[in-house]
Amino acid sequence: MRILLDTANLDDIRYFNTYYPIEGVTTNPTILAKEGGDPLATLKAIREIIGEDKELHVQVTEHDFDRIIDEARAIVDYLGINTFVKIPVTDIGLRVTKYLSDRGIGVTVTAVLTAAQAMLASNAGASYVAPYISRSENLCADGVGTVADIADIFEVSGTDTQILAASFKTAKEVLDVAVEGCHAATIGSGIMKMLLSHTTTDTSIAGFEKDWKEAFGDTTLLKLITKK
Protein backbone atom coordinates (compact mmCIF):
# COMPACT_ATOMS: atom_id res chain seq x y z
CA MET A 1 0.00 0.00 0.00
CA ARG A 2 1.38 3.39 -0.99
CA ILE A 3 1.67 6.03 1.73
CA LEU A 4 1.11 9.77 1.47
CA LEU A 5 1.58 12.44 4.14
CA ASP A 6 -1.56 14.22 5.34
CA THR A 7 -0.22 17.63 6.37
CA ALA A 8 0.78 21.07 5.14
CA ASN A 9 3.53 21.50 7.75
CA LEU A 10 6.63 22.24 5.70
CA ASP A 11 9.11 20.99 8.31
CA ASP A 12 7.29 17.67 8.57
CA ILE A 13 7.06 17.37 4.77
CA ARG A 14 10.80 18.07 4.40
CA TYR A 15 11.62 15.46 7.07
CA PHE A 16 9.35 12.66 5.87
CA ASN A 17 10.12 13.32 2.21
CA THR A 18 13.81 12.86 3.05
CA TYR A 19 13.62 9.77 5.23
CA TYR A 20 10.37 7.94 4.49
CA PRO A 21 9.16 6.43 1.21
CA ILE A 22 6.18 8.77 0.80
CA GLU A 23 4.44 9.05 -2.56
CA GLY A 24 2.99 12.50 -2.05
CA VAL A 25 1.11 14.92 0.18
CA THR A 26 -2.59 15.50 0.79
CA THR A 27 -4.15 18.67 2.14
CA ASN A 28 -7.62 19.95 2.87
CA PRO A 29 -8.92 23.38 3.95
CA THR A 30 -8.56 22.50 7.65
CA ILE A 31 -4.99 21.29 7.20
CA LEU A 32 -4.04 24.51 5.35
CA ALA A 33 -5.84 26.67 7.92
CA LYS A 34 -3.83 25.03 10.71
CA GLU A 35 -0.57 26.27 9.18
CA GLY A 36 -1.89 29.84 8.66
CA GLY A 37 0.00 32.28 6.43
CA ASP A 38 -0.56 32.30 2.68
CA PRO A 39 -2.12 28.99 1.56
CA LEU A 40 -0.97 29.49 -2.03
CA ALA A 41 2.63 29.98 -0.92
CA THR A 42 2.33 26.91 1.32
CA LEU A 43 1.08 24.76 -1.55
CA LYS A 44 3.83 26.01 -3.87
CA ALA A 45 6.43 25.27 -1.17
CA ILE A 46 5.03 21.73 -0.75
CA ARG A 47 5.35 21.18 -4.51
CA GLU A 48 8.94 22.44 -4.43
CA ILE A 49 9.84 20.09 -1.55
CA ILE A 50 8.31 16.93 -3.02
CA GLY A 51 9.18 17.71 -6.65
CA GLU A 52 7.02 17.23 -9.72
CA ASP A 53 7.02 13.41 -9.67
CA LYS A 54 5.07 13.02 -6.42
CA GLU A 55 1.37 13.54 -5.93
CA LEU A 56 -0.13 16.64 -4.35
CA HIS A 57 -3.85 16.50 -3.51
CA VAL A 58 -5.57 19.85 -3.01
CA GLN A 59 -9.23 20.39 -2.12
CA VAL A 60 -11.42 22.95 -3.87
CA THR A 61 -12.99 25.77 -1.87
CA GLU A 62 -15.56 27.05 -4.38
CA HIS A 63 -19.16 25.85 -4.31
CA ASP A 64 -20.97 26.13 -7.62
CA PHE A 65 -20.19 24.03 -10.68
CA ASP A 66 -18.60 26.66 -12.95
CA ARG A 67 -16.44 28.17 -10.24
CA ILE A 68 -15.25 24.74 -9.00
CA ILE A 69 -14.20 23.90 -12.57
CA ASP A 70 -12.32 27.21 -12.87
CA GLU A 71 -10.73 26.65 -9.45
CA ALA A 72 -9.71 23.08 -10.28
CA ARG A 73 -8.04 24.19 -13.51
CA ALA A 74 -6.28 27.05 -11.71
CA ILE A 75 -4.99 24.66 -9.00
CA VAL A 76 -3.54 22.29 -11.57
CA ASP A 77 -2.03 25.15 -13.61
CA TYR A 78 -0.45 26.57 -10.44
CA LEU A 79 0.93 23.32 -9.01
CA GLY A 80 1.75 21.36 -12.15
CA ILE A 81 1.60 17.71 -13.07
CA ASN A 82 0.72 15.06 -10.50
CA THR A 83 -1.69 17.45 -8.83
CA PHE A 84 -5.05 15.91 -7.95
CA VAL A 85 -8.08 18.04 -7.23
CA LYS A 86 -10.05 16.92 -4.18
CA ILE A 87 -13.80 17.18 -4.64
CA PRO A 88 -16.25 16.39 -1.81
CA VAL A 89 -18.75 13.65 -2.61
CA THR A 90 -21.95 15.63 -3.32
CA ASP A 91 -24.23 15.85 -6.34
CA ILE A 92 -22.28 18.83 -7.69
CA GLY A 93 -19.10 16.95 -6.77
CA LEU A 94 -20.07 13.99 -8.96
CA ARG A 95 -20.88 16.27 -11.88
CA VAL A 96 -17.55 18.10 -11.44
CA THR A 97 -15.72 14.76 -11.20
CA LYS A 98 -17.19 13.57 -14.49
CA TYR A 99 -16.44 16.87 -16.22
CA LEU A 100 -12.83 17.12 -15.00
CA SER A 101 -11.90 13.47 -15.44
CA ASP A 102 -13.30 13.51 -19.01
CA ARG A 103 -10.82 16.33 -19.65
CA GLY A 104 -7.81 14.59 -18.13
CA ILE A 105 -7.73 16.27 -14.71
CA GLY A 106 -7.19 13.81 -11.86
CA VAL A 107 -9.90 13.94 -9.20
CA THR A 108 -9.80 12.59 -5.65
CA VAL A 109 -13.35 12.33 -4.39
CA THR A 110 -13.14 13.05 -0.69
CA ALA A 111 -15.21 12.89 2.51
CA VAL A 112 -16.38 9.40 1.52
CA LEU A 113 -18.13 7.56 4.33
CA THR A 114 -19.89 4.73 2.50
CA ALA A 115 -19.16 2.19 -0.23
CA ALA A 116 -22.19 3.53 -2.13
CA GLN A 117 -20.60 6.98 -2.33
CA ALA A 118 -17.33 5.42 -3.50
CA MET A 119 -19.15 3.46 -6.22
CA LEU A 120 -20.82 6.64 -7.54
CA ALA A 121 -17.51 8.52 -7.46
CA SER A 122 -15.81 5.73 -9.38
CA ASN A 123 -18.60 5.67 -11.96
CA ALA A 124 -18.13 9.43 -12.38
CA GLY A 125 -14.48 8.83 -13.28
CA ALA A 126 -12.61 9.59 -10.04
CA SER A 127 -8.90 8.73 -10.00
CA TYR A 128 -9.14 8.18 -6.25
CA VAL A 129 -11.84 7.89 -3.61
CA ALA A 130 -10.88 8.90 -0.08
CA PRO A 131 -12.87 7.00 2.57
CA TYR A 132 -12.57 8.52 6.06
CA ILE A 133 -11.64 5.79 8.53
CA SER A 134 -11.67 7.27 12.01
CA ARG A 135 -14.48 9.73 11.31
CA SER A 136 -16.48 6.62 10.40
CA GLU A 137 -15.33 4.52 13.34
CA ASN A 138 -16.10 7.42 15.72
CA LEU A 139 -19.75 7.06 14.64
CA CYS A 140 -19.66 3.33 15.50
CA ALA A 141 -19.58 2.49 11.78
CA ASP A 142 -17.04 0.12 10.27
CA GLY A 143 -14.54 2.33 8.44
CA VAL A 144 -12.14 -0.52 7.72
CA GLY A 145 -15.03 -2.72 6.57
CA THR A 146 -16.14 0.06 4.23
CA VAL A 147 -12.69 0.00 2.61
CA ALA A 148 -13.01 -3.78 2.22
CA ASP A 149 -16.42 -3.33 0.54
CA ILE A 150 -15.05 -0.64 -1.80
CA ALA A 151 -12.11 -2.89 -2.73
CA ASP A 152 -14.54 -5.72 -3.56
CA ILE A 153 -16.80 -3.46 -5.62
CA PHE A 154 -13.86 -2.00 -7.55
CA GLU A 155 -12.43 -5.44 -8.24
CA VAL A 156 -15.76 -6.69 -9.64
CA SER A 157 -16.28 -3.57 -11.78
CA GLY A 158 -12.69 -3.50 -13.00
CA THR A 159 -12.51 0.25 -12.47
CA ASP A 160 -9.19 2.11 -12.49
CA THR A 161 -10.29 4.18 -9.48
CA GLN A 162 -7.99 3.67 -6.51
CA ILE A 163 -8.74 3.82 -2.81
CA LEU A 164 -6.84 6.51 -0.92
CA ALA A 165 -7.92 5.93 2.67
CA ALA A 166 -7.76 8.99 4.95
CA SER A 167 -8.63 10.25 8.43
CA PHE A 168 -6.63 7.84 10.56
CA LYS A 169 -6.27 8.06 14.30
CA THR A 170 -4.29 4.86 14.96
CA ALA A 171 -1.47 2.99 13.26
CA LYS A 172 -3.54 -0.20 13.46
CA GLU A 173 -6.25 1.33 11.27
CA VAL A 174 -3.56 1.89 8.62
CA LEU A 175 -2.48 -1.76 8.72
CA ASP A 176 -6.10 -2.92 8.73
CA VAL A 177 -6.94 -1.10 5.49
CA ALA A 178 -3.73 -2.38 3.88
CA VAL A 179 -4.83 -5.94 4.61
CA GLU A 180 -8.20 -5.19 2.99
CA GLY A 181 -6.58 -4.30 -0.35
CA CYS A 182 -6.48 -0.51 -0.04
CA HIS A 183 -4.21 1.02 -2.70
CA ALA A 184 -2.97 4.03 -0.73
CA ALA A 185 -3.35 5.75 2.62
CA THR A 186 -2.70 9.31 3.70
CA ILE A 187 -1.36 9.61 7.22
CA GLY A 188 -0.45 12.38 9.66
CA SER A 189 3.08 12.77 11.00
CA GLY A 190 2.38 11.19 14.38
CA ILE A 191 0.97 7.96 12.96
CA MET A 192 3.74 7.82 10.34
CA LYS A 193 6.29 7.75 13.19
CA MET A 194 4.29 5.13 15.07
CA LEU A 195 4.36 2.84 12.03
CA LEU A 196 8.16 2.76 12.21
CA SER A 197 9.12 2.93 15.86
CA HIS A 198 9.31 -0.05 18.21
CA THR A 199 11.06 -0.27 21.58
CA THR A 200 12.40 -3.76 20.80
CA THR A 201 13.95 -2.41 17.59
CA ASP A 202 15.68 0.26 19.71
CA THR A 203 16.95 -2.22 22.33
CA SER A 204 18.09 -4.63 19.60
CA ILE A 205 20.15 -1.92 17.90
CA ALA A 206 21.62 -0.85 21.26
CA GLY A 207 22.59 -4.49 21.95
CA PHE A 208 24.36 -4.86 18.58
CA GLU A 209 26.38 -1.69 19.22
CA LYS A 210 27.34 -2.74 22.75
CA ASP A 211 28.48 -6.24 21.71
CA TRP A 212 30.51 -4.89 18.78
CA LYS A 213 32.19 -2.24 20.92
CA GLU A 214 33.07 -4.73 23.67
CA ALA A 215 34.72 -7.04 21.12
CA PHE A 216 36.27 -4.59 18.65
CA GLY A 217 36.35 -1.16 20.27
CA ASP A 218 35.76 1.94 18.16
CA THR A 219 36.50 0.39 14.79
CA THR A 220 33.86 -0.26 12.11
CA LEU A 221 33.74 -2.59 9.13
CA LEU A 222 34.32 0.44 6.88
CA LYS A 223 37.45 1.37 8.82
CA LEU A 224 38.75 -2.23 8.74
CA ILE A 225 38.12 -2.63 5.00
CA THR A 226 39.44 0.75 3.89
CA LYS A 227 42.00 1.06 6.74
CA LYS A 228 40.80 4.65 7.22
How big is the chain by its Cα radius of gyration, in Å? 21
Task: Determine if residue 36 is left, alpha or beta; phi over 0 gives left, psi from -120 to 50 gives alpha, anything else beta.
Answer: left
CB-nearer residue toward ligand E4P: 33 or 206: 33
CA distances from 122 to 118, 131, 206 (A): 6, 12, 49
> If binding is defined by CB under 6 A, does position 6 make contact with ligand E4P?
yes
Type of residue at 9: N
Q: Which stretch binds ligand E4P (CB under 6 A): 26-34, 44-52, 74-82, 118-126?
A: 26-34
Of the listed 34, 44, 54, 86, which one is catalytic?
86
Shortest approach of ligand E4P to residue 36 CB, angstroms? 17
**DSSP 3-state of 107:** strand
CB-nearer residue toward ligand E4P: 26 or 101: 26
Shortest approach of ligand E4P to residue 71 CB, angstroms? 17
Catalytic residue at 86? yes
CB-nearer residue toward ligand E4P: 116 or 191: 191
> If binding is defined by CB under 6 A, does position 97 make contact with ligand E4P?
no
Q: Is 144 exposed, middle or buried (0-12, 13-18, 19+ CB in 10 A)?
A: buried
> If binding is defined by CB under 6 A, does position 55 make contact with ligand E4P?
no
CB-nearer residue toward ligand E4P: 118 or 130: 130
> If binding is defined by CB under 6 A, does position 26 make contact with ligand E4P?
yes
**DSSP 3-state of 57:** strand
Type of residue at 40: L
Task: List binders of ligand E4P among 167-226 (CB under 6 A).
Answer: 167, 186
Q: Give the integer Cα–Cα distance in Å for 18 and 131.
A: 27
β-sheet bridge partners, residue 162: 128
Tabulate helix, strand, coil % of the chain (nearest 5): 55, 15, 30
Q: Which stretch binds ligand E4P (CB under 6 A): 23-31, 32-40, 141-149, 203-211?
A: 23-31
The residue from 16, 84, 128, 132 that contacts ligand E4P (CB under 6 A) is: 132
The binding site for ligand E4P (CB under 6 A) comprises: 6, 26, 28, 30, 110, 130, 132, 135, 166-167, 186
